A = this chain, B = another copy of it.
Amino acid sequence: MTDPYTSAADALAQEPQAASEAPAAHRARFRGGLVRPTSGLAPGFTQANLIVLPADWAYEMLLFAQRNPAPMPLLDVTDAGDPTTPWAPGADLRTDLPLYRLWRDGELVGEVADATSHWTGDAVAFLIGCSFGFESALQAAGVPVRNIDQGRNVAMYRTDVPLRSAGRMRGELVVSMRPVPPRLVARAAVVSAGVPRAHGEPVHVGDPAALGIADLDAPDYGDPTEMHPGDVPVFWPCGVTPQRALELSRPPWAITHAPGHMFVTDQPDGRRPA
């Protein structure tokens, strides 16, 4: 597939926008073709993972999320064919994310900046909470977030931790990892536990092998994060989990966001639409 990041770099060079602009301004730019990760954009507003499936699979996906709420905290589910959500009135889920992934029979077949031509009348979209929601809370509590400090996408890993199945939907937990100084591990756990719609508390502290992760330097998604001396690896449930589940469950088609390229909603962190 072509590399849409090249055009993203061009767009950024032409249009140096303020990260703190309103969510709708960012979405309009993505609708216009800009491709870039959303980390750090519109701070204080909830960002969401996206997964779109045929209506025939919607019940199993909904049940799968309900049975595994830590990696898949559900924010919204659309009616079939309807690309709108009360989390961002006026937004169009088919165009307003910066980058989409297309799947066939559980295999990644491409990435596009506009999913309109793939969005069928029976498409049901699921919006799932994102760890960006607790990264700002960690920083506010004095916990360094090294991937942000290093200007990199967070490191994400497949694990061998099974999820509770729902019909044809099954999977294994995907985690994100952030290195935390030992004296701040407890604080990081407590602060993130207070943001349950962004995955909540860590699933594990300390030993990658306990999760079946062989090499922290080789993440399955995102970029490796440089650890400082003494740092403890802390693992959180990750919203990429349903993308791994697609590979195992093999629905005929699916659309997701590309990792790190999230849906920026109009809802302040910690709030739901009225």
Please list the residues of chain A having a beta carbon within 8 angstroms of any beta carbon in chain B.
58-59, 62-63, 66-67, 69, 74, 76-77, 196, 272
The chain B residue sitting closest to A167, CB to CB, is B79
Kindly list chain B residues whose C-beta atoms are within 8 Å of the C-beta of A272.
69
Distance of A213 from chain B, by nearest CB (Å): 20
**B66, B67, B196: which contacts A66 (Cβ < 8 A)?**
B66
Question: What does DSSP make chain A's interface, helix, strand, loop or mixed?
Answer: helix
User: How many angstroms between the C-alpha atoms of A63 and B65 in the bound complex?
Assistant: 11
| Minimal Cβ-Cβ distance residue in B for A69 | B272
Give chain B nearest CB distance to A1 CB in angstroms: 33
Tell me, rounded to whole Å, the shortest Cβ–Cβ distance linking A185 to chain B: 21
Additional 12 contacts, C-beta under 8 A, given A62-B66, A67-B77: A58-B59, A59-B59, A59-B62, A62-B62, A62-B63, A63-B77, A66-B66, A66-B74, A66-B77, A67-B76, A69-B272, A196-B196
Smallest Cβ distance from A273 to chain B, in angstroms? 9
| CB nearest to A62 among chain B residues | B62
* Interface-centre pick from A58, A63, A69, A76 (highest chain B CB count, 10 A): A63
Bound form: Cα–Cα A264–B211 in Å: 33
Q: Closest B residue to A273 by CB, please name it.
A: B164
- From residue A201, how far is it (CB to closest CB) to chain B in Å? 12
Contacts of A59 in B (CB 8 A): 58-59, 62
User: How far is it, in angstroms, between the C-alpha of A66 and the C-alpha of B61 when the chains are bound?
Assistant: 13
